[in-house]
Chain A
């Protein structure tokens, strides 16, 4: 093997979109391959865990881990890659903040299992089998990784050096992150490798946002014909732009869809959902309780809207267990 720096790529609880994002580098992937040796990438290359284990600790320049952590196996792999890497990069929204899988934190593991293995219309499971860590089959003991009750972001499991945001990170963001790491001039630990201002600043519709805005009824994208040049908030469509980090070049806006917040918050914001809630409430019409409530009734899923990519990384991290006798004293 050559003297080129070594990197590993791995996926935990994710959809595979982040792997796709690497491939989206297109011909530039050849430049990456010329600069580094990819020694572990289960999606694309046939190296095994033991190959990674055989390397000395700290042998890798960088480990890129995408996906949230929700099983014991994912936790083990995160720890292994952390040990082998000098720089660990949380790649993509799930790894950075918990991502869409993190919405499972609105339920318990038992509720997730019940829905997936019993109640979902597409589930056929007459024997009611649910995953168990250990069971016996034909006289053999078989095991599965355990499934956590709470989905975790990568930095809730291991120390993380850098974050590449996005669902999935765009090719431009990915490429600039790789160049930053290869340059040797590393930004402060904990940096998110993307611009540190709100998406609105990058938005081509920015100038069409009125100074004073009041929305009496929020609209969902399928309910209206969306004007292609006007600020979506001005059209009453909840757009996460004000509370979301820039760097995607407003791709969703270019597709005439609202920002859903995948780049996470800027460095000055601790809780993206809380910040967006604040921004949206401020432009809600009404000055008495019932008028405000009427306007807010047009927002059907506030938690899912404000925390679509970041519930595990938010201040409260998961649903409280005080409902219906689950908690209590």
Chain B
């Protein structure tokens, strides 16, 4: 997700489109996405799906990194409770998600930008519905004005010297 990608989505000209990073488990939600594909269902092209073996593999750092690199929303998908291929991976995912949501709220991130859904391999329809809903919601929220992503964006010119410091100064000028 480079600055180039960001610009090519048309942020500046009002044609901005949200980008939602999806972490789907190998055994349920990713298969649902596959089924949606083979069934020729359509969902918005704003989703970037990353397959993991289990929703329990989602390290909160992945989500933080997605936001830090400019994602506008993050969707986690796993097997229904009781159906986890690894017995309790989705329970761990749920616990992490609930704590992560609190931390993200503390960091000023709108809670609608992150969502966890249980979607089984046969629920292609649910997958389409959830993705569409989430992308619409994130589109309504607008671009994520996140900490690090925002700091980087405000100083695209500086190669490596001190992007953060440069932006801190930029703010200095902007705010009387």
Chain A contacts to B: CB under 8 angstroms:
69, 72, 75, 105-106, 109-110, 133, 146, 148-150, 152, 156-158, 269-271, 273-275, 277-278, 280-282, 284, 286-289, 292-293, 296, 299, 301-303, 306, 314-323, 327-329
Interchain CA distance A110-B176 in the complex, whole Å: 11
CB distance from B20 to the nearest CB of A (A): 16
B81's nearest neighbour on chain A, judged by CB, is: A287
Which of A281, A289, A321 sits near B96, CB closer than 8 Å?
A281
CB distance from B135 to the nearest CB of A (A): 16
B172 touches A148 (CB 8 A): yes
Interchain CA distance A303-B105 in the complex, whole Å: 9
Provide the residues of chain B in CB contact with A301, threshold 8 Å: 106
Interchain CA distance A296-B148 in the complex, whole Å: 27
A316 touches B165 (CB 8 A): no
Given contacts A275-B61, A321-B108, A323-B110, 15 further A-B contacts (CB under 8 A): A69-B165, A150-B151, A157-B165, A271-B61, A274-B60, A278-B60, A278-B96, A287-B91, A303-B106, A306-B103, A315-B61, A318-B147, A318-B151, A322-B142, A322-B145
CB distance from B71 to the nearest CB of A (A): 12
Within 8 A of A (CB), among B95-147: 95-96, 98-100, 102-103, 106-110, 141-147
Within 8 A of A (CB), among B1-45: 16
A289 touches B94 (CB 8 A): yes
Interchain CA distance A72-B168 in the complex, whole Å: 9
B175 touches A328 (CB 8 A): no
B103 touches A329 (CB 8 A): no
B165 touches A152 (CB 8 A): yes
B64 touches A271 (CB 8 A): yes
Which of A133, A282, A323, A328 sits near B142, CB closer than 8 Å?
A328
Provide the residues of chain A in CB contact with B164, threshold 8 Å: 150, 152, 156-157, 317
Interchain CA distance A321-B149 in the complex, whole Å: 11
B59's nearest neighbour on chain A, judged by CB, is: A278
A150 touches B168 (CB 8 A): yes
B169 close to A (CB within 8 Å):
yes
Contact of A277 with B168 at beta-carbon distance under 8 Å, contacts A302-B103, A316-B67, A321-B108 already known: no
A320 touches B168 (CB 8 A): no
10 A-B pairs closest in CB distance = A303-B106, A327-B145, A329-B142, A320-B108, A156-B164, A274-B61, A319-B108, A148-B168, A316-B147, A318-B147
Q: Which of B88, B107, B150, B167 has the largest count of A CB atoms less than 10 A from its CB?
A: B107
Provide the residues of chain A in CB contact with B143, threshold 8 Å: 329
Interchain CA distance A317-B164 in the complex, whole Å: 10
B68 close to A (CB within 8 Å):
yes
The interface residues of chain A, by DSSP majority, are classed as: mixed
CB distance from B16 to the nearest CB of A (A): 8
Which of A270, A280, A315 sits near B99, CB closer than 8 Å?
A280
CB distance from B17 to the nearest CB of A (A): 13
B144 touches A320 (CB 8 A): yes
B95 touches A316 (CB 8 A): no
B98 touches A281 (CB 8 A): yes
Provide the residues of chain B in CB contact with A269, threshold 8 Å: 61
Q: Which of B95, B141, B143 has the largest count of A CB atoms less than 10 A from its CB?
A: B95
Which of B65, B96, B109 sits near A315, CB closer than 8 Å?
B65
Provide the residues of chain B in CB contact with A302, threshold 8 Å: 99, 102-103, 106
CB distance from A242 to the nearest CB of B (A): 13
A301's nearest neighbour on chain B, judged by CB, is: B106
Which of B63, B95, B151 sits near A281, CB closer than 8 Å?
B95
B106 touches A106 (CB 8 A): yes
B162 close to A (CB within 8 Å):
yes
Which of B59, B60, B109, B162 sits near A320, CB closer than 8 Å?
B109
A316 touches B102 (CB 8 A): no
Provide the residues of chain B in CB contact with A284, threshold 8 Å: 95, 99
Provide the residues of chain A in CB contact with B98, threshold 8 Å: 281, 289, 292-293, 296
A sample of 24 cross-chain residue pairs with beta-carbon separation below 8 angstroms, ordered by A number, consists of A149-B168, A149-B171, A150-B164, A150-B168, A150-B171, A157-B162, A271-B64, A277-B99, A277-B100, A278-B60, A281-B60, A296-B102, A299-B99, A303-B107, A315-B68, A315-B148, A316-B107, A316-B146, A316-B147, A317-B151, A321-B145, A322-B144, A322-B145, A329-B143
